[in-house]
Amino acid sequence: MKIVSIVGARPQFIKAAVVSRVLRERHLEVLLHTGQHYDDEMSGVFFRELGLPRPDINLGVGSGSHARQTGEMLIGIERVLLQERPAGVLVYGDTNSTLAGALAAAKLNLPVAHVEAGLRSFNRAMPEEINRIVADRLSALLFCPTRTAVENLAREGITAGVHQVGDVMYDALLHTLPIAERTSSILEALGLTPGTYLLTTIHRAGNTDEPANLSAILAALGATGEPILFPVHPRTRQALTRWNISPAQNVRLIEPVGYLDMLVLEKNARLILTDSGGVQKEAYWLGIPCLTLREETEWVETVEAGWNVLVGTSVERLVAAVHSFHPPGEQPALFGHGQAGQEIIRLLEEAWG
């Protein structure tokens, strides 16, 4: 059995590390990096910290419009699949790399396995939602992180090949957090005291490409009056410059950080504000209250459990929630028990081995 695994963006590097480590040990994987995230802060540091093998192939696609980026990926991925002739193709999450990998494989009549299948925000204005729907429709194996994801697929008539395996990002966090706490010096480097700052991340197109939304979020962050640390995604930094939006004095902008440092920053924050799906989950697992800068989330379990509140881009809602939100004391095990990677490997070998 030979599998081509396709990654391209930092959340996928975290997810793939759990599965790729085992596949590579068994000499079963060709790892293809599309180059969607390409600089060291968004790509290289994650491979080093997670022990993820260097990609066998890097397409170097880089940034661009959805059409150009996806088109170039399709061309490159098709070429690799024709050369490698794998038993199947493994894709992760909801990026353009996921869409291109699933589509290229399906066109060549190769089976697709989708890790993190069944997620739905029910907002088709989100590019990620389109990517998820298409990838799920094209997949023969659908690895769902939660029961909700399984139910979403069933409502769409997808039941064959569906498996609830848990969340590979939870596997990664359990494995990596002790290493991060032992080795990271980010708190000392930034002069931060645990529990005395808020942490924010913003990168979704609905926020970065809409000046009114981005301006409202930055205004709300300033209005909280609390110290806020803001590792800035390259796309967000460009948007701040383009729209001439300046943060208030209590908002501290820094460059993106690696996975180990990010886990330490998350664990020691008083509260997290984000539009990232992965950060919402990490906040839940770490027991840190989370405010989501969107009107909907694909991770509804975190909201239903009382640890996450959707505040959108409303200044009033965001500021009020910062000062009043107190989640309950328990976090039910809604995302598995840290064995998702092992279950995925077993199912891949059973289906394609």
Cite the active site residues. 203
Helical pair 66-84 and 96-107, crossing angle rounded to 10 deg: 40
Those residues with Cβ within 8 angstroms of residue 244's Cβ, 6 or more apart along the chain or in another chain:
none
Residue 323 CB neighbours (<10 A): 10
User: Which are the contacts of 262, defined by CB distance < 8 A and separation ≥ 6?
Assistant: 231
Q: Is 41 exposed, middle or buried (0-12, 13-18, 19+ CB in 10 A)?
A: middle
Question: Which burial class, exposed, middle or buried, applies to 69 when counting CB atoms under 10 A from its CB (0-12, 13-18, 19+)?
Answer: buried
First to last CA, the chain: 5
What are the CA-CA distances from residue 349 to residues 26, 73, 163 (Å)? 11, 27, 14
